[in-house]
Structure 1
Amino acid sequence: MFKSLFKKKMEPEQVQAPLTGKVVALEEVPDPVFSQKMMGDGVAIIPSDKQVYSPVDGEVVNVFPTKHAISLRTKAGAELLIHMGLETVELKGEGFNILVQDGTKVSKGDPIAEFDFEKVSSLGKEVITPIILLNGEQFKLENKHTHQSTTGGKDIIMEITKA
Structure 2
Amino acid sequence: MFKKLFGNKSTAFNVISPLSGKKVALEEVPDPVFSQKMMGEGVALEPKDGYVFSPLEGTIVQLFPTKHAIGLETKSGAEVLIHIGLETVAMEGEGFEAFVSKGDKVKVGDKLISFDLGLVKEKAKSTLTPIIITNSDEFDVQVVEGVELNAVSTPILSVKKK
Q: If the length of structure 2 is used for normalisation, what is the TM-score?
A: 0.92
Deviation of the 1:92 alpha carbon: 0.5
Which residue is 2:126 aligned to?
A: 126
Which residue is 2:28 aligned to?
A: 28
The correspondence of residues 87-106 of structure 1 with structure 2, limited to 5 A, is 87-106=87-106
Which residue is 1:160 aligned to?
A: 159
CA separation of 1:13/1:124 partners in 2, compared to 1, >3 Å: closer, same or farther?
A: closer
Deviation of the 1:8 alpha carbon: 1.6
| 1:41-88 Cα shifts (integer Å, max 9, x gaps) | 000000001110000001100100111100000111110000000011
The correspondence of residues 1-163 of structure 1 with structure 2, limited to 5 A, is 5-6=4-5, 8=7, 10=9, 12-142=12-142, 144-145=143-144, 148-163=147-162
Distance in structure 1 (CA, Å) of the matches to 2:36 and 2:90: 22
Deviation of the 1:3 alpha carbon: 7.4
Distance in structure 2 (CA, Å) of the matches to 1:96 and 1:36: 27
CA contact (8 A) 2:40 2:132 kept: yes
Distance in structure 2 (CA, Å) of the matches to 1:53 and 1:23: 16
CA separation of 1:115/1:145 partners in 2, compared to 1, >3 Å: closer, same or farther?
A: farther
- Across the aligned residues of Structure 1 and Structure 2, the Cα RMSD in angstroms comes to 1.7
Q: Which runs of 5+ in 1 are unaligned?
A: none
Amino acid at match of 2:136: G
Q: Which runs of 5+ in 2 are unaligned?
A: none
Distance in structure 1 (CA, Å) of the matches to 2:6 and 2:68: 38
In percent, how many aligned pairs have the same letter? 47
CA contact (8 A) 2:91 2:124 kept: no
Q: SS at the partner of 2:34?
A: helix
CA contact (8 A) 2:86 2:124 kept: no
| 1:111-151 Cα shifts (integer Å, max 9, x gaps) | 11102121111124311000000111222212x13561100
Q: SS at the partner of 1:121?
A: helix
Q: Which runs of 4+ in 1 moved over 3 A?
A: 2-7
Amino acid at match of 2:47: P
